[in-house]
Amino acid sequence: MSADGATARVVFKAPKGEKMTDAVNKATVEKTVKELRSGSEVASVADPYTGHAVSRNGSIAYASVKYEVSGMELADSSKDALTDAAQDARDAGLTVEIGGDALSATPETGSSEIIGIAVAAVVLVITFGSLLAAGFPLLTAIIGVGIGVCAITALASALDLGTTTSTLASMIGLAVGIDYALFIVSRYRAELAEGREREDAAGRAVGTAGSAVVFAGLTVVIALVGLSVVNIPMLTKMGIAAAGTVAIAVLIALTMIPALLGYAGRRIKPAGQKSRLLGGGRTPKEPGRPNMGTRWASFVVRRPVAVLLLGVLGLGAAAIPAASLELGLPDDGSQPASTTQRRAYDLLSEGFGPGFNGPLMIVVDAKDSADPKAAFAEVGDEIKGLKDVVTVTPAASNKAGDTATITVVPDSKPSSTTTEDLVHAIRDKGADIARKTDSQVLVTGSTAMNIDVSQKLNDALLPYLALVVGLAFLLLIVVFRSILVPLKAALGFLLSVMAALGAVVAVFQWGWLSGLMNVEETGPVMSMMPIFMVGVVFGLAMDYEVFLVTRMREAYVHGEKPGQAVVTGFQHGARVVTAAAVIMMAVFSGFIGSSESMVKMIGFGLAIAVFFDAFLVRMAIVPAVLALLGKRAWWLPKWLDRALPNVDVEGEGLRAHAAPEEEKELVRA
363: left (phi over 0), alpha (psi -120 to 50) or beta: beta
Report whether pLDDT(103) > 80: no
Q: What is the mean pLDDT of residues 464-474?
A: 81
The identity of residue 447, as a single letter, is T
- pLDDT for 278 equals 54
The identity of residue 56, as a single letter, is R
pLDDT band at 663 (very low <50, low <70, confident <90, very high): very low
Report whether pLDDT(419) > 70: yes
CA 377 – CA 606 distance, rounded (Å): 50
Q: Is the dihedral of CA 522, 418, 606, 570 positive or negative?
A: positive
Q: Is the dihedral of CA 520, 526, 531, 536 positive or negative?
A: negative
Q: What is the mean pLDDT of residues 187-203?
A: 87
- Are 542 and 489 in contact by the 8 Å Cβ rule? The answer is yes
- Are 185 and 125 in contact by the 8 Å Cβ rule? The answer is no
Q: Is 185 exposed, middle or buried (0-12, 13-18, 19+ CB in 10 A)?
A: buried
pLDDT in tens, 561-616: 888 988 988 887 788 888 888 888 887 887 787 767 777 888 899 899 989 998 99
Give 91's contacts (C-beta < 8 A, 6+ positions apart): none
- pLDDT for 665 equals 47
DSSP secondary structure letters along 326-343: -EE---GGGS-TTSHHHH
On average, the pLDDT of the chain sits at 83
Question: With pLDDT > 90 as the criterion, what percentage of the chain qualifies?
Answer: 16
CA 227 – CA 224 distance, rounded (Å): 6
- Are 563 and 623 in contact by the 8 Å Cβ rule? The answer is no
pLDDT band at 46 (very low <50, low <70, confident <90, very high): confident
DSSP secondary structure letters along 523-539: -SEETTHHHHHHHHHHH
User: What is the CB neighbour count within 10 angstroms for residue 283?
Assistant: 5
CA 151 – CA 166 distance, rounded (Å): 9
Report whether pLDDT(316) > 90: yes
- pLDDT for 669 equals 40
User: Across 115-124, 233-242, 503-512, which has the greatest mean pLDDT?
Assistant: 503-512
Find, among 499, 157, 481, the residue nearest to 315 by Cα. Answer: 499
291: left (phi over 0), alpha (psi -120 to 50) or beta: beta
- Are 553 and 480 in contact by the 8 Å Cβ rule? The answer is yes
DSSP secondary structure letters along 500-514: HHHHHIIIIIS-TTT
pLDDT in tens, 434-460: 888 888 999 988 888 888 888 888 888
**Bridge-based pairing state of the strands 327-328 and 525-526:** parallel
- Are 121 and 181 in contact by the 8 Å Cβ rule? The answer is no
- pLDDT for 666 equals 40
Beta bridge partners of 404: 364, 397
CA 543 – CA 217 distance, rounded (Å): 7
**Bridge-based pairing state of the strands 396-397 and 7-13:** unpaired
Give 581's contacts (C-beta < 8 A, 6+ positions apart): 544, 610, 611, 614, 615
- pLDDT for 612 equals 93
Report whether pLDDT(357) > 80: yes
HEC profile of 368-407: CCCCHHHHHHHHHHHHHCCCCEEEECCCEECCCCCEEEEE
Q: What is the pTM of this model?
A: 0.77
Report whether pLDDT(319) > 90: yes
Q: What is the mean pLDDT of residues 141-157?
A: 84
Give 27's contacts (C-beta < 8 A, 6+ positions apart): none
Backbone phi and psi for residue 58, each to the nearest 5 degrees, phi listed first: 80, 5
Q: What is the mean pLDDT of residues 293-304?
A: 90
Inter-CA distances, 233 with 2, 223, 230, 668, Å: 22, 16, 9, 65
Inter-CA distances, 14 with 28, 48, 211, Å: 11, 14, 67
- pLDDT for 668 equals 45
Find, among 116, 64, 126, 651, the residue nearest to 348 by Cα. Answer: 64
pLDDT in tens, 269-286: 887 676 655 555 544 445
Q: In the chain, how long is the greatest CA-to-CA distance?
A: 106
Report whether pLDDT(230) > 60: yes
CA 46 – CA 63 distance, rounded (Å): 6
Inter-CA distances, 225 with 238, 460, 464, Å: 9, 14, 11
Backbone phi and psi for residue 459, each to the nearest 5 degrees, phi listed first: -70, -30
Inter-CA distances, 254 with 123, 247, 469, 482, 546, Å: 22, 11, 26, 26, 16
CA 393 – CA 378 distance, rounded (Å): 13
Find, among 444, 339, 332, the residue nearest to 100 by Cα. Answer: 332
